[in-house]
Amino acid sequence: MKRPQPAARSPQKPRYKRILLKMSGEVLGGQAGVGLCAEMVHEMAADIKEVRDLGVEVVVVIGGGNIFRGLQGSEKGIERATGDYMGMLATIINSLALQDALEKQGVQTRVQSAISMSQIAEPFIRRRAVRHLEKGRVVIFGGGTGNPYFSTDTAAALRANEIGANVILKATKVDGIYDSDPKKNPKAKRFKQISYIDALQKQLKVMDSTAFSLCMDNQMPIIVFDFFKEHNLKRVVMGEAVGTLVTG
């Protein structure tokens, strides 16, 4: 008589169906945080592919600080609105670099821009973006909000709410939110979870105030995590306690 075989365990399902990954431009610059580091861009693409292959719908918003930051430009004499538009163009360069890396790894990708540039990117159309996600494509939103005086943090918060993301994953070089700078204070305390109100009262700079208000008003959870630790993005998506969760 044959011994009955144990039932196969069903693979664990991702906790989130649709995510918005927010990355600063400096991440693409590697250790120096300046320009484009090809190796880092391809590593980022591999991490995104890893979660996309789990069936997760992925949207990406990238900053442009590795190339040009509007606020810094205004400090050097460039008119603020002009500097911000220059920064928006920098985010398009980063978006195209990531798109190229993803497609070289077999991931269909679309770049949508808040600034019209039909030769290289689609215009941002919410319904079209959602349709791309439903077809398994990664969508990269470039050009910020298309308006000066708004950061890419604000663009991430706005787009996350528009396309119905389950969570904003903010990729950083630290493993969460601390009560003080962990580089300056070795006794800094890391929060596993914190409310929007507590983060505001403690003046913890999770995002700029406009972006944070959008998330708080619409109950959009934010997870701040260390993107440079191997497979961390997948661990967050699978629901592991990685980084710091900001929620209501």
> What CATH superfamily classification does 18-247 receive?
Acetylglutamate kinase-like (3.40.1160.10)
Q: What is the pLDDT of residue 5?
A: 52
What number is the average pLDDT over the span 95-102? 97
Six token digits for residue 207: 């995002």
- How big, in percent rounded to 5, are the helix, strand and coil portions of the chain? 35, 20, 45
Instruction: Report d(CA 72, CA 64) in Å as an integer.
Output: 12
In Å, what is the CA distance from 184 to each residue of 47, 171, 187?
30, 21, 9
Q: What is the pLDDT of residue 10?
A: 44
What number is the average pLDDT over the span 110-129? 96
51-85 pLDDT per residue, tens? 999 999 999 999 999 999 877 777 888 999 999 99
Q: Is the pTM of this model over 0.95?
A: no
Six token digits for residue 51: 């979660």
| Confidence label for 183 from pLDDT (cuts 50, 70 and 90) | confident
Q: Dihedrals φ, ψ of 74, to 5°?
A: -65, -30
- Residue 1 pLDDT > 80: no
Instruction: Name all contacts of 204-209 with Cβ < 8 Å and 24+ positions apart.
Output: 204/177, 204/178, 204/179, 206/170, 206/177, 206/246, 207/153, 207/154, 207/156, 207/157, 207/170, 208/151, 208/153, 208/154
